[in-house]
């Protein structure tokens, strides 16, 4: 199963949610596809909520514009 690292590219404050450049999470996926665009990005949303306590979807940052995806395996 592939392991992806998703990193915030730029700081953003929106809808009461603050994201800082460099925040990153690791997500294991059942698919080799980009986890940001697969299944509505739910694994990425869950990971940011679990690790940082922020709702990346509410911040409007669940997009490749704000996120960098790196395949680690």
Place of tokens 């997009």: 63
Residue 33 clears pLDDT 90, i.e. is over it: no
pLDDT at 50: 96
Confidence of residue 17 (pLDDT cuts 50, 70, 90): very high
Nearest to 14 by CA among 63, 50, 51, 70: 63
- Global pTM value: 0.90
Residue 38 clears pLDDT 90, i.e. is over it: no
Residue partners of 52: CB distance under 8 A and separation at least 6: 23, 25
Mean pLDDT of 40-56: 94
């Amino acid at each position: 199963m592939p392991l992806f690292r998703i990193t915030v590219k730029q700081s953003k404050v929106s809808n009461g949610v603050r994201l800082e450049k460099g925040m990153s999470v690791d997500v294991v996926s059942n698919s080799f596809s980009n986890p940001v665009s697969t299944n509505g990005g739910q694994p990425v949303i869950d990971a940011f909520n679990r690790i940082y306590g922020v709702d990346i979807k509410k911040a409007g940052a669940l997009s490749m514009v704000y996120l960098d995806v790196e395949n680690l395996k």
